[in-house]
Chains A and B, each alone.
Chain A
Amino acid sequence: MKVRYFPGCTLKTKAKDLDRYARLCAEELGVTLEEIENWQCCGGVFTTATDEIATKLSSVRALMDARDHDAPLVTVCSACHNVIKQTNHAMQNDADFAKHVNLYLGKDGQYYGEAKAIHYLELLRDVIGFDTIRGKVKNPLAGKKIAAYYGCLLLRPSQTMQMDDPENPTVMEDLIRALGGEPVVYAQRNECCGGYAVLEDAAIAKKNSGKVMTDAASHGADMIVTACPLCRYNLEKNGTGEIPVVYLTELLAEALGVKEDAHDAQ
């Protein structure tokens, strides 16, 4: 099966592993991520103001592409996913907003939220299925205590994201289990890492990421897994350095046995 794929800026530069393994793993699991043409940066954050129109157009164009290809729009980066999903939700539910957006779009066509935006994790869980994945695991992550870090963007606002229980999410834990690892459940996994504020105020990021790392460590995590490049950056910068932070696609690639292949190919 083929899905439309929105990689996002960071995955083309600093987070190439997140992108590369996402594609390899999907391919291994029978799904081709087709990168949409001429995609534009999502903007990193969804501006909640009702009169912010232009900042959401790139998401709408990506969604239109998915609609025109009659396929879901998949993103791996939590930030891109958050922006696109919230934009799609607004297009479906806020008639006034949709009207304004369509005025901007003009001859590019009209859009009313017909496409479905899903995160890579939802692709794994809802389309491919964890049971299928379990069956394809070549190198089980046995004995590894892995702490999933969700941060904010995957889960919130929960009414819109509809990804998982925002206070007690299980999708990554279930994935870790499917890959043969042992998930570590800790309360700070859905708290913020400090996000973009790191640019202005490194202390905020340090404080928040520090809390997350400490909590994961105190629960005996060997490793932290995340879907967001900025989370990874903040956690790595502010951890004690003992617990590695990896992308979920890296972990998946390792378990599916496609990681070495990729290295070989290089």
Chain B
Amino acid sequence: MQTVTRDMLVSRAKALLADGTVDRVLGWKAGEFTYDVTPGVFTDADAMEKEFVYGDFCGANFSKYLLTEARKTEKKVLVFLKPCDTYSFNQLLTEHRFDREKVYAIGIPCDGMLDIHKIRTLSAEGVTGIDTDGESVTVHTLYDGDKTVARADALAERCVNCKSKKHVAYDELLGEDGEIIDSARFDEVAAIEKMTPDERFAFWQDALSRCIRCNACRDVCPACTCEKCVFDNPNSGVENKSPANSFEEQMFHIIRAFHVAGRCTDCGECSRVCPQHIPLHLLNRKFIKDIDEFYGEYQAGEKVGSRAPLVDFMTGDLEPSEAVKRGETNA
């Protein structure tokens, strides 16, 4: 259940459209089902009224859309940002990826979003609709009738391990701001670190071999905003469109994780959109955990203009051999 209602967002957006502050709104658009909400651009009050939705499946992080939308607008583009989205927002500003002047950001609080995959696993396939009521979720299914699951159990992984309910950027805040949370988001990484190398290899082989190279993770990632991705660039030496064998996936995902290391805000979009349910956030979080442990805590996007750990150094940094040992004996 969200404390800020759809109506509040719609009326704010309409007001800003009406007074000419903004000429477009980045928001969530209804899909065929309750749960397949898609990002949309609204340019008038009518469209807002008809198509704008806000609910438990509005997880999409709009920061990346600002790159294109901010360029199109003559005035400003209105964007709704959940706390986790604001980190991506700042990180993109750090990298000069859009013009802050062209954006009107409204921070909205978030109680966590639901994961349809989890709901299906908990209830049944053929989900036709979902109603949330307080702490329970009623799932309407095609073949098995209505089922009820606890909202807490249906929360997306990234929301279970939410790192912050605090907005680090906005022009206007709806509702109350929250706090940075001391989350348990590194527990899973630590569990993998504790495995033997063989177990780790098996775990990742299993996960990454599912990859179909649909590039959804890359396309949704707010840190992946290159004009041309190295995987699409014949001159990069790693260009590859489709997987030829298991290593291609490893290569793709290692390079991708490395490219966003120190820039990834851990927004969790990659895992959210992965159709194969590969826990991609565990690669990014490994880098974040290592960075925190080796070089001191760093949260990408917390401050605009902060110096990422990979473009910084201390003369007494630990040696790679030491780093590998520590990564393993963290157990």
State yes or no: do A and B touch (Cβ within 8 Å): no
